[in-house]
Amino acid sequence: MTSGPQRELFGTRSVDWMKDAACKDHPYPDAFFPVGPGAHAGPVRIFCGNCPVREQCLDYGLMENYGIWGGTSERERRRIRRERRSPKPPTHCRQGHPLTSENTFVQNKGSIPGCRECKNAQARAHQRRKRLAS
Ligand code: SF4
Ligand SMILES: [Zn+2]
């Protein structure tokens, strides 16, 4: 099994989940591996909708180019991998303040923008502590 960032990006090679797969007794396993131009796996995805191991299957399938995994097509997984490689910047700080241009500051060139509201709150707390200490 892979671990760390590699796993988050491209899934896992664990296969324990396969025994619980909703499609494991499907009479035509090939139906999950549609090939050729125009091939689509719409009908078999009905199985994925109620599958108890859908998440694990997708995790595994992110390393697979071919077939339907976790209810996703090859094209959909390519998109997921692309998105995971370049995650969108967060819209809110950890305290839930919106990271708008007015509410953010950049400490050093290239660093992740910080939350102005949090920074100000920290500064106020610092002032308060100083006042109490003196
Ligand atoms: S998510 Fe779909 S392809 Fe994956 S195990 Fe379940 S039924 Fe099979
Ligand atoms: Zn904040």
Task: Give start and end residues of each alpha helix (H) in the chain.
Answer: 4-10, 45-49, 54-61, 74-85, 116-133
CA 96 to ligand 2 centroid distance, Å:
6
Structure tokens at 41: 């796996």
Q: Report the C-alpha gap between 106 and 86 in whole angstroms.
A: 20
CA 47 to ligand 1 centroid distance, Å:
6
31 pLDDT exceeds 60? yes
CA 97 to ligand 2 centroid distance, Å:
4
Q: Whose CA is nearest to atom 5 of ligand 1?
A: 21
Confidence (pLDDT) at 96? 96
- What would the pLDDT profile of 42-92 be if each residue is shown by its tens digit? 778 888 998 999 999 998 998 888 889 999 988 899 999 998 888 778 899
For residue 110, the Cα-to-chain-centroid distance in whole angstroms is 24
**Probe ligand 1: pick from 69, 73, 77, max atoms within 8 Å of CB?**
69
CA-CA distances (angstroms) from residue 82 to 37, 47, 88, 101? 23, 26, 11, 26
Task: Let me know: does 20 contact 54? Beta carbons within 8 Å.
Answer: no
Tell which wins on pLDDT, 108 or 11.
108
pLDDT more than 70, % of the chain: 86
Confidence (pLDDT) at 1? 37
- What would the pLDDT profile of 79-125 be if each residue is shown by its tens digit? 999 988 887 788 999 999 999 999 999 888 777 789 999 999 999 99
Q: Map out the domains of the chain as residue ranges.
A: 4-85, 88-134
Length of the chain counted residue by residue: 134
**Probe ligand 1: pick from 17, 48, 63, 66, max atoms within 8 Å of CB?**
48
CA-CA distances (angstroms) from residue 32 to 37, 67, 95? 15, 6, 43
Task: Let me know: does 118 contact 95? Beta carbons within 8 Å.
Answer: yes
Confidence (pLDDT) at 40? 67
The whole-model pTM stands at: 0.60
Angle at 68 between CA 52 and CA 54, to 5 degrees: 15
